[in-house]
Chains A and B, each alone.
Chain A
Amino acid sequence: MGTRDVFINCPFSSDYKGFFEAIVYAVVRSGFTPRCALESDDGGEIRFDKICRIIAESRFGVHDISKTEPDPDSGLPRFNMPLELGLFLGARKFGVSPNTLKKTLILDREAHRYQRFISDIAGQDIHSHDGDVGRLIEEIANWLRNQARDQRVPGGRAIAAEFGRFQADLAGIAASQSLERDELTFKDLCVIAPKWIKAAASAA
């Protein structure tokens, strides 16, 4: 199991893209490796098996269960995030070492809202990001710093300010390959973020 691997369980919809980029950036900047279901596109691997494999390989899990609205096309809510959260908690509960060492950050957009739709996790410490990207970064960075017991990880607000500059450069970086910003993939982000951090540090 990768002791620096962070499994990201969140919506992949276009309206969440900025939040997703923020999670990836916060994880990289905190000295960890982001992992998620989008990292491999192997048609031969069943999606559920892929998610189980990535969960098994990740010590940490960041789960944003804030998106509960029905899908505009189907009129039904998406249940993938609660399912993957359950898998992660189950791996910790019933798995053998080192799975029992897994650590989980659960995020929603309002404190205590989760009690109305997933009350079985009442008693867990659920963090709120208030639908704000800066707050989301702050929660993740602070949590990872505590989990890693690494005081060198900068504060969440500093990382959020950096992320604003990173986001401002993303469109230009994408355009260099004749891409729109929303065409950048998870794998692109995972490579762009560390390189951008390095370049920004050199330019400072």
Chain B
Amino acid sequence: MAKVSKNAILGRKAVGKVEGAKVLFTTKDGVRILKPKAKATHFTEKELDRAIAAAMAAKRS
């Protein structure tokens, strides 16, 4: 029987490293989007998540 990874069972996207760079997430088309090397100048992670969600919601409404 073929081995199935725990991540595959749990439906998680592959993360880890690609050629030494940390992977933030993998898109549906399979591109591994890399983690930025520095932090944002004007945003914390939470502020940015909220700002992006708000901008997208505003576009939908």
Question: Given the interface contacts A172-B51, A172-B54, does A194 sit within 8 Å of B36 by beta carbon?
Answer: yes
Q: How many A-B residue pairs have CB under 8 A?
A: 112
Q: Roughly how many angstroms separate A30 CA and B33 CA in the complex, as a whole number?
A: 8
B30 touches A152 (CB 8 A): yes
A195 touches B30 (CB 8 A): no
Q: 1/0 per residue B31-59: CB within 8 Å of A?
A: 11111111111110001111111111011
Q: Residue among A173, A184, A194 with the most chain B CB within 10 A? A: A173
Closest to B21 in A: A4
Closest to B33 in A: A194
- What range describes how many residues of B lie at the interface? 35 or more
Q: Which residues of A contact B29 (CB under 8 A)?
A: 152, 154
B-facing residues in A100-131 (Cβ within 8 Å):
none
* Contact stretch, chosen from A8-16, A69-77, A79-87, A185-193: A185-193
A29 touches B31 (CB 8 A): yes
Q: Which residues of B contact A4 (CB under 8 A)?
A: 18-21, 34
Q: Roughly how many angstroms separate A191 CA and B52 CA in the complex, as a whole number?
A: 11
Q: Which residues of B contact A2 (CB under 8 A)?
A: 20-21
A191 touches B48 (CB 8 A): yes
Contact with A31, one of B20, B34, B53 (Cβ below 8 angstroms):
B34
Tell me if A97 counts as interface (CB < 8 A to partner B). no
A191 touches B51 (CB 8 A): no
Contact with A179, one of B24, B27, B39, B42 (Cβ below 8 angstroms):
B42
A39 to chain B, nearest CB (A): 6
Contact with B59, one of A31, A169, A191, A198 (Cβ below 8 angstroms):
A169
B-facing residues in A33-52 (Cβ within 8 Å):
33, 35, 39-40
A188 touches B42 (CB 8 A): yes
B42 touches A195 (CB 8 A): no
B36 touches A191 (CB 8 A): yes
Residues in B lying within 8 Å of A, measured CB to CB: 18-21, 24-25, 27-43, 47-56, 58-59
Besides the known contacts A176-B47, A195-B49, 13 further A-B residue pairs in the complex with CB atoms under 8 A apart:
A5-B21, A154-B31, A172-B51, A173-B52, A176-B50, A176-B54, A177-B42, A187-B39, A188-B40, A191-B38, A194-B24, A194-B34, A199-B53
